[in-house]
Homo-oligomer: A and B are copies of this chain.
Amino acid sequence: MTGQRRIIAQVLETAKGHPDAEEIYTEATAIDSAISLATVYRTVKLFFELGILERLEFGDGRARYEDAERDHHDHLFDIETGAVIEFVDPELEVLQEKIAHRLGYRLMAHKMELFGVKLDKED
């Protein structure tokens, strides 16, 4: 456990959103300027493989990360604003297990992203 990794872990723990590598890099260098982007990528990859981190992809080419220690949740992506809303639905979790099982699989992970627009006056 090196200083750099500690800092990157800290950045991810305290991050409110879902930062990408560049953002992690920016925040990390604010704490200790002796961190390179390469190290961010290496650390993020390592943490991901260790299950410490989750990798999110919303289809815009870059990966975003979040602390996996936090309670599990899925994401709703606001198409208009780009906002990411987190949610949990126990019913959904159960249903996914059921579906996987029905297909002859043991569920190891899942990714579920809803894409929507805000309801205003309508409905």
Q: In the assembled complex, how far is the CB of residue A77 from the closest CB belonging to chain B, in whole angstroms?
A: 9
Q: Does A110 lie within 8 Å of B112, measured CB to CB?
A: yes
Contacting B at CB under 8 A, from A57-96, are 57, 59, 63, 76, 78-79, 85, 87, 89, 91-92, 95-96
Closest to A112 in B: B112
Q: Does B115 lie within 8 Å of A110, measured CB to CB?
A: yes
Q: Within 8 Å CB of A103, what residues of B?
A: 76, 85, 87, 116
Q: Within 8 Å CB of A59, what residues of B?
A: 55, 57, 63
- A: residues with CB less than 8 A from B are 55, 57, 59, 63, 76, 78-79, 85, 87, 89, 91-92, 95-96, 99-101, 103-119, 122-123
